[in-house]
Chains A and B, each alone.
Chain A
């Protein structure tokens, strides 16, 4: 049994596998399948200052080796999260990353400040949602905006702050450096890649929002590349995600430079995916006689 524990900017995770924000709700639905304390952490559904209804359906489309979604940050609002969902999650002996988003830097800051008085372990600031018109990706695709929203949130909370980055940019390393300079304790990447499918019979886009975020195994190589680039560009830890569906994928992502990984679309194919990934990582490390998963982080040997 290898040591799977990791520490990201002072926060302990019993293992490096975290269901990604958006696929796991607030955990309740998956507890039917396995105890939540098997997980390293949980990134909760993106939550905003006020409740949001999200986009009109269809919000989901299958794509080759992946899927599109355009949920659009449907959530019950931060007050409900703090009063109802968070207390429940905090009894589960698992590290909680509260994922937050907003239409303006001020809204994000206010949402974060409300979490400051709670026992949540980390805040993950989503500056990269492709499915909302205001805020969302607009913050994540411009260095100056990314820096501003990160700084405002940084000033509003003492909680460890992870900023979740968009891949829909020319240079993700520039954005990563901007949020690092604004006080982010870590970055997580990648959010979904903007995509589109059209029904050739009706000529209507499959998603009512026309466009949506691509995830699943199809994006994995893009995610590995971006994690590797960002890990080389910043000093803060990187949480890697994007198409991870096996223990081998998770190991690869950590070798690329990730200190932990998040698992998204794979959970839809197999609800036990995060638990299986933990077991497979352990088996891989044992087979290579590697004592700690920390020993593989960023160990890629580029040509």
Chain B
């Protein structure tokens, strides 16, 4: 099985910040095969299209997945109304996840806003080998910092307005770490301008970089070709699809 569709019990629900929710979902068959960077495609009430949400945590022993999502519109608002004990309809696990290499000595995880949750799954993979740089608009938007610390990763917090952590963007500490050297890989998820800058810093410092992209999608499995993104493969432009070829891409593949 690569992926499946099912209705699974929500075993935990918490609000992490304004309009940001965390669900723990009991789904043994999905948790058994899911990898960091993959996503789930959630049916939202009576809406035609499902909503893609990246996986934040995988607990193979408990057979659970954790997802963290932000209410962006009516569809995610519908999903946010689900409660503990209710069923959530998902296609999962979908997409191509992050490459995890336990030979790496040091990795940097760069998350921006609601792009932070998939970085937590990586922090749990790499533990003390990871430095997690997380950026948010302000202190009230900050999420998951205790979870990052619990993973063993070194954490660096930034906010746009300086109301928590470093006053500034995630690219500042990343630039410093990159200059100091010794980084085997950078993984990133967040807004496009941030990803573009992260990719540039990695290119300038010759660091392997993988990023997770977002796009409006329909089928979620690579059939409808709705979620195209411009990439370069074998020196040729290639309209890849975020749902199947991604959401994780090597940064050098993406045409910005």
Residues of A participating in the B interface, judged by any CB pair closer than 8 Å: 22-25, 29-30, 32-33, 45, 53-63, 65-67, 69, 71, 74, 206, 216-217, 265, 267-272
Contact = CB atoms under 8 A, between A and B. Distances in A.
Interface stretch (B118-126, B203-211, B222-230): B222-230
A59 B239 CA distance: 12
A268 B215 contact: no
A60 B2 CA distance: 25
12 contacts: A22-B224, A25-B224, A29-B244, A54-B239, A56-B228, A60-B216, A60-B218, A60-B226, A62-B49, A216-B48, A268-B50, A270-B43
Contacts of B227: 57, 59-60
Question: A33, A54, A268: which has the most chain B beta carbons within 10 Å?
Answer: A268
B216 A267 contact: no
Interface residues of B, number: 32
Nearest to A73: B225
What's the dominant secondary structure at chain B's contact region? Answer: loop
B228 A32 contact: no
Contact of B226 (A24, A53, A71, A216): A71
Contact of A265 (B4, B48, B216, B230): B48
Given A25-B224, A29-B222, A71-B224, A269 B48 contact: yes
A269 B49 contact: yes
A58 B48 contact: no
Given A22-B224, A24-B223, 19 more contacts: A29-B221, A29-B223, A29-B244, A30-B223, A32-B2, A32-B221, A33-B4, A57-B215, A59-B216, A59-B225, A60-B226, A62-B75, A71-B224, A71-B225, A74-B228, A206-B216, A217-B48, A269-B49, A271-B91
Contacts of A55: 228
Nearest to B219: A268
B140 interface: no
Contacts of B237: 53
Nearest to B43: A269
Contacts of A269: 43, 47-50
A108 B225 CA distance: 22
Interface in B205-256: 215-230, 237, 239, 244
A74 B225 contact: yes
Interface string B51-67: 00000000000000000
A69 B224 contact: yes
